Structure 1
Amino acid sequence: MAPTEGLVPITRAYLARYYDRYPLPPLPYAATDLAARLRALSADLTAVAPIAPDEDLMGQEAAGIPAHKIDENLWKNREQMEEILFLLNTSRLPVALQQKSTPEDAEIVSKLGDIEAKLKDMLKKLEQFQLKNADNVFNTVMTYMPQDFRGTLIRQQRERSERNKQAEVDALISAGGSIRDRYALLWKQQMERRVQLAQLGSATGVYKTLVRYLVGVPQVLLDFIRQINDDNGPMEEQRERYGPALYTLTKLVLAIRLYLHVSLARYGQRKIEKDNIAVLHQAVVIYTEEFVKFTEFIGEVFVNAPFFISAEDAGAMDASRKSDEYKETIIPAGKTHEVILSVEAINSYIAWDFSLQQGALTMALDIGFHVEYISPSGEKTLILPYRRYEADQGNFCTVSVGSYKLVWDNSYSSFFKKVYQYPVYVIPVVNVDV
């Protein structure tokens, strides 16, 4: 563990001093005003046709209080943009708009096309922002991981975990899941990542083994990521300062979607008036312009935040492998050396690294090695077949819950073997991300 002298806890008060340097410019009043006007226009359209259940749900959401967490609002904005783009698909527009039956219809289609282009561009930028932010967090935490095969395995685990999550989403879409269903799943997956990150900071359960070998991780970082989900934790300072502007944008996009939905659904009975399409267009222009500004601003705040400190700044020790981390193990002729491991999580890795000492006394420079699974009844199953090695460095196998035995076998030899053995690790699935 790295020395932490001189480091300060990443507390709410500590972050407050940092955020003082980054005041968020206020949103234009029009953002709030336009949301209210669109909700009022939507309410007026109930006289044309009764509110359907899905419209009632949209109305409640548009009039309600947005979620408190910043990242939950970002996901909600993505969801609403996709819902709006779904509405604006040409095949789903009213027939009069598809055919541009009148000059007024053609003008509305032109406005809707501009709205669609702006939201497509904003959606792409938001997706890229979230991906970049997730990579920043992961790469920051990875700077405290040992810079050897263990770090490589953790990166591979993250990639595998993300592939599994994407497969979940693909399966939901294939089963006919709605955009709302998909984003409910995406948010659930996001919270799973946050829980895993918090577990890493708490070093609970299967994470104890991993954290034990996190060379140079400052305790202040572990304390911070442990509290990352807390309602009144350090991140509350960020929510209080920057949340209100994002909440306003969330309410605006909810109002945009509500009005567009109810007006298109009633287009056969009442066409959208010229003044009303102008209000809608202005709302989308302000929404996309201000959302771009917000993500650019918050991105700069995140990247420079004091919890994105480098390993060097944190006083971390060099995470590269040290020769004294190897344990010298003498295996007499005709004997074996065994290591028993307990695995607590499915899809974990058992990782090992060893080499034989060069020298005449060791004679044949190889050693037998294999890995076994030991069932609760004591039955043994070969996981990695027996082979003779001069060295086996940075190797691993994927395992499930249970007990395992790694065996170095010198039973065939008439000479002792001196093995330089790196610690054997059980590395659980870990998805350090936010």
Structure 2
Amino acid sequence: MATTEGLVPITRAYLARYYDKYPLAPLPDAAVDLAARLRALTADLAAVVPITLDEELLEQEAAGIPAHKIDENLWKNREQMEEVLFLLNKSRHSVALQQKSTPEDTEIVSILDDIETKLKDMLKKLEQFQLKNADNIFNTVMTYMPQDFRGTLIRQQRERSERNKQAEVDALVSAGGSIHDRYVLLWKQQMERRVQLAHLGSATGVYKTLVRYLVGVPQVLLDFIRQINDDNGEVFVNAPFFISAEDAGAAGARKNDEYKETIIPAGKTHEVILSVEAVNSYIAWEFSLQQGALNMVLDIGFHVEYISPSGEKTLILPYRRYEADQGNFCTVSAGSYKLVWDNSYSSFFKKSLRYKVDAVPPVVEPAVPAVEPL
């Protein structure tokens, strides 16, 4: 786990000053001239061949005001590329172009094929950039999370959330949704990701159940997550994640640790019972043994069992000896779960146990809605 001691989250004022070091070069005159020529050419073509309904939406998008968010611009670029590729599909070519009736038709088809190839390559690179950037941000945040079951559960929740989002997109496509419909949904999902992370930082919304067990995560990290993921937040390539408290004029990070320690005498056990009110909760644990007398490497038995409301016991995790362990499982029943550390087999040696356990309620996400055919 990386340390945030002495650091505070970036602020917009600091970030604005920081980016003064990275001024954007103005567009070259050639780019401005090219844009003007393309607009004039488009107007001339539209006068000869009126814009079709399929082309109208793309024309409106291109003529609109660019989005103020960098990530929204990336999604818009992808959408417009896919719309252009749809229009370039050979099935939409005129009969003359499909038959290559004249040398001029052959040349036009060759140019269109070249444009299609380049657009597909650009679209693939843009998709890969977005995926890589999302992973980089998530993994950077995770380096500041405790490397125990809490980080593991956040990763599992993220994977499940992404599967649900993909299922929602697949359902829309299967129902006949258009390219525009799909990108409206993709952008909505992107904003939901940012809202969820902002909730994680401010301990509101459904993610407050995660914050409840994130004791030990520096407040500086939660503040940072909240700030970069609100409606005006952005993360740029050169952006610093954290700055010194001296630079920001703010207090440093807060530390907290929920590990417990206990001595288990020879011939005894130590038990912890966790109550679970809902299925799909997580039972999570991490423990290790402190070094024993004479520098001996010791182990201890550990198992988990379920106790139903009627008192019936069911073994969930079989007995095994460990020096240390970290794990979790998703519950299928409400009730009590008993975690047992067993030193009953030892006749002489006590065990010094350091552990952390929790029952984490499920983070409930909206069900994937049924999409009516268009």
With the length of structure 1 as denominator, give the TM-score of the two structures: 0.65
Higher RCO (CA 8 Å, separation ≥ 6 residues): 1
Equivalent runs, 1:9-408 vs 2, <5 Å: 9-27=9-27, 28-30=31-33, 32-34=35-37, 36-37=39-40, 40-41=43-44, 43-45=46-48, 52=53, 54-204=54-204, 205-214=208-217, 217=218, 219=220, 221-231=221-231, 233=232, 235=234, 302-307=236-241, 325-328=259-262, 330=264, 337-342=271-276, 347-354=280-287, 367=301, 369-372=303-306, 378-379=309-310, 384-385=315-316, 387-391=318-322, 393-399=325-331, 404-408=336-340
**Contact in 2 for aligned 1:83/1:179 (Cα 8 Å):** yes
Shift of 1:117: 1.9
> Counterpart of 2:214 in 1: which secondary structure?
helix
Alpha-carbon spacing, 1:50–1:187, altered in 2? closer, same or farther (3 Å): closer
Shift of 1:81: 0.8
Q: Deviations over 1:51-76 (max 9, x none)?
A: 53x54444433333333322112111
Name the amino acid aligned to 2:138: F
Shift of 1:303: 3.5
**1: CA distance between counterparts of 2:41 and 2:197?**
40
**Contact in 2 for aligned 1:154/1:429 (Cα 8 Å):** no
Alpha-carbon spacing, 1:386–1:49, altered in 2? closer, same or farther (3 Å): closer
**Contact in 1 for aligned 2:58/2:80 (Cα 8 Å):** no
Alpha-carbon spacing, 1:355–1:86, altered in 2? closer, same or farther (3 Å): same
Higher mean displacement: 185-194 or 10-19 = 185-194
**2: CA distance between counterparts of 1:177 and 1:51?**
19
What residue ranges of structure 2 are gaps of 5+ in the alignment?
364-374
**Contact in 1 for aligned 2:274/2:358 (Cα 8 Å):** no
**Contact in 2 for aligned 1:367/1:410 (Cα 8 Å):** yes
**Contact in 2 for aligned 1:330/1:418 (Cα 8 Å):** yes
With the length of structure 2 as denominator, give the TM-score of the two structures: 0.74
**2: CA distance between counterparts of 1:151 and 1:143?**
9
Higher mean displacement: 387-396 or 81-90 = 387-396
Counterpart for residue 422 of structure 1: 355
Alpha-carbon spacing, 1:119–1:195, altered in 2? closer, same or farther (3 Å): same
Shift of 1:17: 0.9
Alpha-carbon spacing, 1:414–1:138, altered in 2? closer, same or farther (3 Å): closer
Q: Deviations over 1:141-180 (max 9, x none)?
A: 0110123454344334434443443344344444443322
Shift of 1:368: 6.0
Shift of 1:111: 1.4
Count residues with an aligned counterpart. 345
Name the amino acid aligned to 1:304: N
**1: CA distance between counterparts of 2:299 and 2:19?**
60
Shift of 1:120: 1.5
- State the identity as a percent: 58
Question: What is the root-mean-square deviation in Å for CA atoms of aligned residues?
Answer: 4.2
**2: CA distance between counterparts of 1:386 and 1:50?**
66
**2: CA distance between counterparts of 1:383 and 1:73?**
54
